[in-house]
């Protein structure tokens, strides 16, 4: 039992021990971008294009949300009320008022 435990410990130390030189190399690796942090180079030739595409993307998302919410809010509402002249014409067509009254009210509304 003791030999199995010691073999497992040796195997574990060996596996993790092989990774130490790789980790050290990764820590000592110089940046390939010349100076500063690699992400500071994002404003290169493609950085401005990516920024504009991001602004267009979020602009479309916001416009889509606003239009979608406006469409949802207006669902189920009655259409706009008819103009007074339309109501007057319907009353005349149904025979509720005569021609003289229709003309007098029409003059009042238009003039």
Q: pLDDT digits over 73-97, tens only?
A: 988 777 777 788 888 899 999 989 9
DSSP state of 38: G
Report yes or no on 57 lying in a domain.
Answer: no
Report yes or no on 93 lying in a domain.
Answer: yes
DSSP state of 111: -
Whole-structure pTM over 0.85, yes or no? no
SS3 55: helix
The pLDDT > 90 percentage for the chain reads: 27
| Residue that is written with structure tokens 């109501």 in the block | 87
Report yes or no on 54 lying in a domain.
Answer: no
Report yes or no on 52 lying in a domain.
Answer: no
| Exposure string for 45-64, b = 16+ CB within 10 A, e = fewer | eeeeeeeeeeeeeeeeeeee
Domain total for the chain?
A: 2
Q: The domain containing residue 16 runs over which residues?
A: 1-30
Report yes or no on 45 lying in a domain.
Answer: no
Calculate the average pLDDT of the chain.
78
Please report, for residues 78, 95, 104, the alpha-carbon distance to residue 91 in angstroms, rounded to integers and kept in the order given.
Answer: 21, 6, 14
């Amino acid at each position: 039992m003791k030999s199995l435990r010691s073999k497992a410990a040796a195997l574990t130390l060996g596996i993790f021990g092989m990774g130490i030189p790789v980790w050290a190399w990764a820590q000592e690796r110089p940046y390939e971008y010349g100076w500063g942090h690699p992400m500071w180079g994002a404003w290169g030739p493609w950085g401005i294009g990516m920024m504009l595409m991001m602004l267009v993307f979020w602009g479309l998302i916001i416009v889509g949300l606003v239009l979608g919410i406006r469409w949802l809010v207006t669902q189920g509402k009655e259409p706009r009320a008819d103009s007074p002249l339309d109501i007057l014409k319907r009353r005349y067509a149904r025979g509720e008022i005569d021609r003289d009254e229709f003309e007098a009210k029409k003059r009042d509304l238009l003039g």
